[in-house]
Amino acid sequence: MKRFIFIFVLCTALLSSCHSYRDIKFKSADIASVTPVGLTSINAEVNVEIENPTVGFTIKNIDGVLKMKGDSCLLVHSDGMKIKGKCTRTYTLPVQGKIAQGFNPFQLLNIMSTKDLGAFTIDVKARGTVAGNIGKEIEYHDIPLKSIIDKL
């Protein structure tokens, strides 16, 4: 019986502490640098300011697809980053990008210079972990790029 009570209290504590992860905020994002690699790839560094009032965690295997009018145009990947707990901090996220098959590389220049972001959406997949491998896969599909930029 004592074992059952201990497990119940532990589960309750864990579940109630996970609720505070909803309080994490992305305060700003900025592309620090973009370096072309050949004709079809880029390396970039993105500065992201995150307010984390809870414990530290790790975001791993970040994969994304930038779409223009439903067609894939840029595939991005990052190994991830560690987010420190109970602080607001700017992190530098290294990102590798590759132009999607069938997409014209010169259109990428138009993407960078356009002011109209209404035609762009993003698919994102990542794994958030706490204490090693305890974590969850996170997936979002067809997020309007304009809504992300407006919130920042």
Query: pLDDT, tens digit, for every residue of 24-83?
Result: 887 888 888 889 898 889 899 988 898 989 888 888 999 999 888 888 988 999 998 999
Predicted TM-score (pTM) of the model is 0.74
Cβ pair 47, 32 in contact under 8 A = yes
Spatial strand order in the sheet of 57-68: 25-37, 41-52, 87-99, 71-83, 57-68, 120-130, 134-144
CB atoms near residue 52 (< 10 Å): 19
Cβ pair 73, 100 in contact under 8 A = yes
Q: How far is CA 112 from CA 23, 55, 67, 108, in A?
A: 31, 36, 13, 6
